Amino acid sequence: MAQGVVVLFDERANAALARLLDRLDTAGVPGARRFPPHVTFAMASDIPARTRAALKADLRVLSIPNLWLYTLSAFSHTENVLMLGAVVDTELLAVHSAVHDVLAGKVKNPNSYYLPGSWVPHCTLAHGMADEQTAVAFRALFPVEPVEARVARVAILDTATGDLDVLV
């Protein structure tokens, strides 16, 4: 079980991402549809209610920039992942750091992949693919048009239940 601080997108970005997922499905590679399209800013085994309230207060005064999902890429951790990487700029890094400033020392088991200096902001398109599926998926989507993703909401996503606790 894990809980993540995620940004969710506007309908236009969601529609563009759904079209990419449809192309994956057509190619025989199941797209990542368990959760709504998102970029994860932080992940931990538990983000307590008091910490959520502090994060909500901080997020109200932050200006969260649009994300440009542009770089089609793959990585392997415990399973192969196909992703659209976000263009990283100083505004995005500042928001990411602010989120982690609130969470520091207040969450259980923070995931090091999402910490400042390690984070690769991305929207997962497919995961759990066999190696040969990864190549098929990449060919099905490349070249990909950039997706301008306006942030519509910031929420805590519970990866066990799929529940979203909307912060802003």
Q: Please write the tens of the pLDDT for every residue from 113-144.
A: 999 999 999 999 999 998 889 999 999 999 99
Number of neighbours of residue 76 by Cβ within 10 angstroms: 10
Q: Count CA atoms within 13 Å of residue 61 on its CB side.
A: 5
CB-based contact 43:35 (threshold 8 Å): no
Structure confidence at residue 32 as a pLDDT band (50, 70, 90): confident
CATH number of the domain residue 33 falls in:
3.90.1140.10
Q: Count CA atoms within 13 Å of residue 155 on its CB side.
A: 17
117: left (phi over 0), alpha (psi -120 to 50) or beta: left
Domain that includes residue 153, residue range: 3-166
Number of domains in the chain: 1
Which of 29-33, 72-76, 123-127 reaches the highest mean pLDDT? 123-127
Residues in the chain: 168
Structure confidence at residue 78 as a pLDDT band (50, 70, 90): confident
